[in-house]
A = this chain, B = another copy of it.
Amino acid sequence: MVKVGIVGGTGYTGAELLRLLAGHPNAKVTVITSRTEAGVPVADLYPNLRGVVDLCFSEPDIESLASCDLVFFATPHGVAQNTVPAILATGTKVIDLSADFRIRDIPLWEHWYGQPHAAADLVPKAVYGLPEYNRSAIQTADLIACPGCYPTSVQLGLMPLLLAGCVDTADLIANAASGVSGAGRQASVANLYPEVSDSFKAYAASGHRHLPEIEQGLADMAGSAVGLTFVPHLLPINRGIHTTLYANLTDTEVDVQALYDQCYASEPFVDVLPAGSHPETRSVRGSNYCRISVHRPGNGKKVVVLVVEDNLTKGASGQAVQCMNIMFGLPENNGLSMPGMVP
């Protein structure tokens, strides 16, 4: 039984970790911290967990975290980097769901996140937690930088094309849309129900924080720098990311359906749909699946890839649990086998 700690458990990714780990046969959450809610039962904040989670939030404390085998950080960016070094030093492993250890280029990180990095020397040791690309490195990692929700969908959607080297990597487009839970559980006017519901909009069309993380990952796959236009949109749904990817084939003889089928044939959580399909976000609601379909309109050189995932599951907490399973030698789908909830 893996003893698990969670730092920053009041947000949506923390709550999702609790929901998933409640059904995990080999893991047990023993510590969950929150400065603002210390002493409060978790189930008071999340009544859906009444009868399932008996813990109270506690003050963050290195000693109690060090008693765990693994600590998840479900904190805003800039928090984990201050505490992770001390935790790793005790031999406890860490999976960070924030952006702190994702970008290898420290000045680039500091530019987009507007602050100096407090643990720059740890960044090279962090393993990017995308199992479909990085599984073997994850097995032996002590520190995982768990990918962001948008980056997961874009990278999984483009990986088969980039590994095959059959598209123009200078002109990639990711038109992505996320449910509102992706914005977190902070009080704000912008995410009030009456501001978001029955409406739709793009945001950050001129540049978004996830762009450098995505470009780094795509470049790793392509073997050289890529040019990506990334436009995120805000969907009036709770959970779910839908990404529509556009690329130009440099080799129009390639059978893109076969390429995707083969690339993901043995992946437990990437489901390539039959030709002609269109995945719906609800098909992965609450599940760790990523569903993908590939189209070539008019059989031309443009390839259109449709990707769905749940931003809180495969896009965050589910992927983190998947990494935990890999790190601890557990069956990869333990605690993650529930299907999407429809309707």
Contact = CB atoms under 8 A, between A and B. Distances in A.
Interface string A288-305: 010101011110101010
Contact of A342 (B46, B187, B273, B343): B46
Given A231-B244, A306-B202, A297 B343 contact: no
B202 A180 contact: no
Contacts of A297: 205-207, 229-231
Contacts of A276: 206
A152 interface: no
Task: Give the bracket for the number of chain A residues in contact with chain B.
Answer: 35 or more
Contacts of A304: 205, 229, 231
Contacts of A192: 180, 185, 187-188, 191-193
A297 B215 CA distance: 14
A187 B188 contact: yes
B189 A189 contact: no
A180 B205 contact: no
A287 interface: yes
Copies in the complex: 4
Interface in A192-246: 192-203, 205-207, 227, 229-231, 233, 235-240, 242, 244, 246
Q: In this complex, which of A186, A188, A239, A304 has the most chain B Cβ atoms within 10 angstroms of its Cβ? A: A304
A181 interface: yes
B185 A187 contact: no
A246 to B, nearest CB: 6
15 contacts: A15-B342, A48-B283, A48-B285, A175-B244, A175-B246, A188-B192, A197-B198, A199-B281, A201-B281, A201-B306, A203-B278, A205-B295, A231-B244, A233-B242, A312-B343
Interface of A: 12, 15, 19, 22-23, 46-53, 171, 173, 175, 177, 179-181, 185-189, 191-203, 205-207, 227, 229-231, 233, 235-240, 242, 244, 246, 248, 271, 273, 276-287, 289, 291, 293, 295-298, 300, 302, 304, 306, 308, 312, 337-343
